[in-house]
Amino acid sequence: FATDDRSRIGCLDMAGNVSEWCEDFDGGSRTDRVVAGGNYATAEPERFLIDGGSTLPQTDYSRTVGFRGVVRVPVSP
């Protein structure tokens, strides 16, 4: 494993798999959700930035959009 893509708590390969559905809706919409991050088909580097998201209707299917389960882990500074 390469260690240059390791997070500060030791997770590997967290970027570039799929873009992720977010809990947030786009503005006043109740159907278009924010999709954040880049994926394996992304050509624009700015899409990998934390604020480089887009929106999709939450009923859409895309093989480049998924979700990431989150568990809060206490980390010392």
Flag whether pLDDT at 1 surpasses 50.
no
Confirm if 56 and 37 have CB atoms less than 8 A apart. Answer: no
- Identify the burial level of 35 via C-beta atoms within 10 angstroms of its C-beta, where 0-12 means exposed, 13-18 middle and 19 or more buried: buried
pLDDT at 28 over 50: yes
Q: What tens digit of pLDDT does each residue of 30-75 get?
A: 899 988 888 888 887 777 776 667 889 999 998 989 987 778 888 8
pLDDT of residue 68: 76
Which pLDDT belongs to residue 14?
Answer: 67
CA dist 33 and 7 (Å) reads 26
